[in-house]
Structure 1
Amino acid sequence: MSASTLPLAADLMKAAGESCLEAGAIALDLFRPGAPTAARTWSKSGGSPVTEADIGVDTFLRVRLSALLPEAAWLSEETVDDAQRLSRRFVWVVDPIDGTRAYMSGSPDWAVCVALLDEGSPVLGIVHAPACGATYTAIAGSGAKRNGEAIRTSSVRTLAAARIAGPKPMLEALARVQPFEAVGKIPSLALRLTRIADGTIDAGLISPDARDWDLAAADLVLREAGGRLSGDDGASVAYNRPIPMHGMLVASAGALAAPLLEALAQLHTPAQPG
C-alpha cells in the first residue's frame, strides 16, 4: 500500500493528527505526573484496568475520526467489536490510552494511538505521547516522523551491540543465547515500537496476546522508519482478523531483524545429543 491508495492522505493525516492532539489534552487533564491519576478507575471483565480518560478519549475520537472518513469501520479497545469491520475496506483502529497502567501510576509512558487500515494494512499511523512530548506519524510510502522531523531506525547489526526492551522473562531467555543490553520495560507497546523507529533502542520483544490497537499505528511508523515487526517465525503481522489478537512478536531495526530471529529460533531448537 502507498499514500496514493488513501484518499487525500495529507489532508486526512493533518485532521487526524489534530484530533489526536486534542484527545491527548483530554487525557492529560486527569494525568498526574509521578502520582496516581485523578481519573475514576475500574476493572473490565478479564481484570484489565480502564479509566474515565480511556472512555472519554475513545468517545471523542470515534466522533472525530468517523466524520473524517464515514465509510471506515471502527475497532477500538474500549468499544464493543462490530463484525462489519471485516467487510470494510477502511478501518480505524484506536487505542485511546495505550499503557493505561502507566497512565494510572503517573508514568509518562502512555500514548494515544490511531491507525487507518486499507484492506487490512496500516496506511496511516499516529502515536501521540503527550506526557513525553512526542508525536510519531507515518503515511504508507512517505516515511515516518517524530514531532515533524524524519526518523530512521539505528544501523545496529549485531545482538551484542543492541539495546533491547521487553518483558523480563523474555529478555532473560534471549540472553542465554546471546548477550545484549537490556533496557527497562516500556509499558506502552506502541512506544516500544516507536522508540525503535527513532533509534532510541534497537529492538523489542512483545509477549503473546497483543491486540491490533496496541500495534497497528506503531507498526506503520516502525516500517516507514526502516524497521520490522513480525512473529517470532518471521511472518508479517496481519490485521483486521475476526479475533484481532497476536502471538509473540519481534520488532527491530531492519538490519537487526535476521540475527534476532535466528537467536530466538535457537531457543526453540532442541539440543542435539552428545
Structure 2
Amino acid sequence: MTVEISDSRLANHIAEGCGDILKGIRSSGLLRGLALGDAGDVLAQEWISRVLDQHRPEDGFLSEEDTDDLTRLQKKRVWIVDPLDGTKEFSTGRQDWAVHIALVEDGKPVCAAVGLPDLGVTFKSSDVRAVTGPLSRRFVISRNRPPAVSKYIAEQMGYETKGIGSAGAKAMSVLLGDYDGYIHSGGQYEWDQAAPVGVAIAAGLWCSRLDGTEITFNNEDTFVPDLVICRPEIKDEVLAHAAAFAEANGNS
C-alpha cells in the first residue's frame, strides 16, 4: 500500500532524492565527461518515472529525458521535470546545475521545487520568499549563449550582467537577491522553465515572456522563446526596454 503524500511534499522529495542520486553518480569518480552526463540523465529520469508511476499514476508527464507521447494534453495535472538541468556544468564539476520538478494544473505551476544539490539547498514553492531590500543592479544571463536583448536592457538600465549555467540556478539567484533579474532569449523548453517559474512566482517575483504575456505550460509545442524573471519593482522598465529592442530589431 502506497503511503499518501501531498503534491508539494512529493515534489520536494523528488527534487532532493534526484539530487542525491546525481551526486552519488558523480562522486564515485568512475565516469567523466559525456558519459557522466548521460548516466546522470538516464538514471535520474528512471527513478523519477518510477516514483511518479507509483504515487501519481493518473497524472500526465513531460520530461526532457523521456518520449513525449502527447497523452499529457488530455490531463488536467501534468508533472514537468528536468532531472538534470545543466548537464555540461554537472559533467565538468561546476556547481551551477539543478533539478527541476513542477506540477502544472491547467497550464499553471501549482507546486514546484528547484534543487541545487552542490549547494545543499532545495527551493520549494511551498515555503519560499524572495529577498527584498536594495537592488543589486545586476542581471544574470546565459553563460553559454548570452542574448543580445539582455545586454541591451542592461545597458539601458545601467546594469552589469553575469553568466551562469543552469536556468534553475539563474532563477534562484534572483530569488536570493544576488541579481535583480534573469533575462533570456533564444529559446528554451517547458522543462527548463516550469519549476523555476513556479518557485519564483511563489516567492513574489515577476515572471513572464519578454512581451509581458503570461507563460503557460503543457502545450503541444513545448518550445518557449524567451523569459524574464525579475523583482516586481523593475518589471515595467525591463519590459519597456524589451519592447524597444524588439521594435528596433523588427520583432514587434
SS at match of 2:84: strand
Q: CA deviation at 1:270?
A: 4.0
Structure 2 Cα separation of the partners of residues 40 and 61 of structure 1:
23
1:180 aligned residue (149, 159, 177): 159
For the aligned residues, what is the CA RMSD?
Answer: 2.5
- 1:43-122, aligned counterparts within 5 Å? 50-122=37-109
Which of 192, 197, 212 is equivalent to 2:190?
212
For residues 84-163 of structure 1, what are the structure 2 equivalents within 5 Å? Answer: 84-139=71-126, 144-145=127-128, 151-155=129-133, 162-163=137-138
Q: Does 1:24 align with 2:2?
A: no
Whole-angstrom distance in 1 between the partners of 2:187 and 2:32:
26
CA distance in 2, matches of 1:169, 1:130: 27
User: Which of 223, 232, 243 does residue 201 from structure 2 map onto?
Assistant: 223
Which of the numbers 12, 34, 38 marks the counterpart of 1:41? 34
The residue type equivalent to 1:257 in the other structure is K
Q: Partner of 1:59: helix, strand, or coil?
A: helix
Cα gap change, 1:18 to 1:269, in 2 (>3 Å): closer
**TM-score, normalised to structure 1's length?**
0.80
Q: Deviations over 1:159-191 (max 9, x none)?
A: xx52101133434332442321222x1211112
Q: What amino acid sits opposite 1:163 in the alignment?
A: R
- Report the structure, 1 or 2, having the larger helix content: 2
CA drift at 1:67: 1.8
Is contact 2:205–2:230 with CA below 8 Å preserved after alignment? Answer: yes
Kindly provide the amino acid, as one letter, of the partner of residue 117 in structure 1. Answer: V
Structure 1 partner of 2:239: 261
Alpha-carbon distance between aligned partners in 2 of 1:173 and 1:253, rounded to the nearest angstrom: 18
Deviation per CA, 1:118-138: give whole Å up to 9, x if none: 111110101111101121001
Q: Deviations over 1:182-228 (max 9, x none)?
A: 22x12111121122123221101112321111111110111111111
CA contact (8 A) 1:96 1:113 kept: yes
Please say if residues 15 and 122 of structure 2, whose CA atoms lie closer than 8 Å, have aligned partners that are also in contact: no
In structure 2, distance between residues paired with 1:270 and 1:15:
46
TM-score by length of 2: 0.87
State how far apart, in whole Å, the 1-side matches of 2:199 and 2:104 are.
13
SS at match of 1:31: helix
| Structure 2 residue identity aligned to 1:178 | M
User: Are the aligned partners of 2:190 and 2:222 in contact in 1 as well (CA < 8 Å)?
Assistant: yes
